[in-house]
């Protein structure tokens, strides 16, 4: 059986960057800041490519919702081995107010339109740390979900997924089609090779807008203020006999 997989790749502020709050306290500084693919999404891409290399999957489509620069993130996914990309361009205020609720609806539409058997997403993005998009996408599609995956195995028509849960590891079977979100130990993403970086240039990226998917992305939340974490205060020494 040859399946088709959709992977979500979000462009986020690079994890090595020290994040700064904007002077107006309405968000964080993103201009001139190094961005890269959300690390959990890299794991999602890697897992999809491995399934393709095992011939379980025939096509991997990478999707990103965001500003023009999100195409660079898609290009990275293509260099790692995805077959083609979909860029849903969302900019400015609309992007600032974009929430997992909206993204999940867009992803669900694309999953249907592309007739995929599996959606693989990072368990969360390291910018908002929401951990919602995968679950919501499964709900919108009314598909089974296997979140925080640390192992994914194809089992006849189903998937056997090991999940990292609070108490340890949980193994579940899900029927396809399904939504999977990746945890850290699922795999170690590869480097894109130089020849694949060059080939990625020629792979197609479809440019879309929210209107193409007929999704309402009007904000459901309002950001009142973004604050730096409080500076840790100096501790005090306890003098006396302690054991």
Partner 1 sequence: MAKRLYFASNHYVRRLCKFGKRFMSTTSCIEPSSGLTEEQRHIQEMATSFAKNELAPNMSTWDQEEYFPKETMMTAGSLGFGAIYCKDDYGGTGLSRLDASVIFEALSQGCVSTTAYISIHNMCAWMIDTFANDTLREHWIPKLATMETLASYCLTEPESGSDAASLSTYAKRQGDMYILNGTKSFISGGGETDVYVLMCRTGEKGPKGITCLLIDKDSPGLSFGQKERKMGWNSQPTRQVIMEDCEVPVSNRIGEEGQGFAIAMNGLNGGRINIASCSLGGAHACIELARDQLLSRKQFGQELANFQFLQYRLAEMATRLVASRLMVRNAARALQDKSPDAVALCSMAKLYATEECSQICNQALQMFGGYGYLKDYPVQQYLRDLRVHEILEGTNEIMRMLISRDLLKH
Residues that bind partner 1 (CB under 8 A): 15-20, 29, 31-34, 36, 39-40, 72, 75-76, 79, 126, 129, 164, 166, 183-185, 188, 191-195, 197-198, 200-201
Check: CB of residue 209 under 8 Å from CB of residue 173.
no
Kindly tell me which of 20 and 207 has the beta carbon lying closer to partner 1: 20
Kindly tell me which of 103 and 192 has the beta carbon lying closer to partner 1: 192
Q: How far is the CB of 197 from partner 1 (least distance, A)?
A: 5
Closest CA relative to residue 147, chosen from 129, 167, 133: 133
Longest dimension (CA), the chain: 71
Q: How far is the CB of 219 from partner 1 (least distance, A)?
A: 26
Q: How far is the CB of 231 from partner 1 (least distance, A)?
A: 16
Alpha helix (H) ranges present in the chain?
A: 39-53, 70-80, 92-96, 100-113, 133-141, 194-200
Q: How far is the CB of 103 from partner 1 (least distance, A)?
A: 20
Q: How far is the CB of 8 from partner 1 (least distance, A)?
A: 17
User: Do the strands 158-165 and 57-66 form a parallel or antiparallel pair, or are they unpaired?
Assistant: unpaired
What sign does the dihedral 198-52-60-114 (CA atoms) show? Answer: positive
The strand order across the sheet containing 3-8 reads 168-175, 158-165, 145-155, 178-182, 118-122, 3-8, 57-66, 84-89, 205-209
């Amino acid at each position: 059986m040859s399946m088709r997989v959709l992977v979500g790749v979000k462009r986020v502020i690079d994890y090595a960057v020290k994040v700064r709050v904007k002077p107006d306290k309405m968000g964080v500084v993103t201009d001139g800041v190094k961005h890269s693919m959300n690390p959990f999404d890299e794991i999602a891409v890697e897992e999809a490519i491995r399934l393709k290399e095992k011939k379980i999957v025939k096509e991997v489509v990478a999707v990103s919702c965001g500003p023009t620069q999100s195409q660079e993130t898609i290009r990275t996914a293509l260099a790692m081995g995805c077959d083609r990309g979909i860029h849903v361009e969302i900019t400015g205020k609309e992007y600032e107010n974009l929430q997992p609720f909206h993204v999940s609806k867009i992803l669900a539409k694309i999953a249907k339109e592309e007739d995929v058997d599996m959606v693989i997403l990072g368990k969360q993005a390291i910018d908002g740390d929401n951990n919602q998009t995968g679950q919501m996408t499964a709900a919108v599609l009314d598909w089974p979900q296997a979140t925080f995956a640390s192992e994914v195995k194809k089992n006849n028509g189903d998937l056997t997924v090991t999940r990292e849960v609070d108490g340890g590891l949980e193994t579940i079977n899900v029927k396809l089609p399904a939504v999977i979100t990746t945890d850290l130990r699922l795999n170690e993403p590869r480097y894109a090779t130089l020849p694949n970086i060059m080939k990625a240039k020629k792979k197609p990226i479809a440019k879309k807008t929210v209107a193409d998917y007929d999704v309402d992305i009007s904000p459901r939340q309002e950001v009142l203020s973004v604050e730096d974490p409080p500076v840790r205060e100096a501790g005090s020494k306890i003098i006396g006999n302690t054991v």
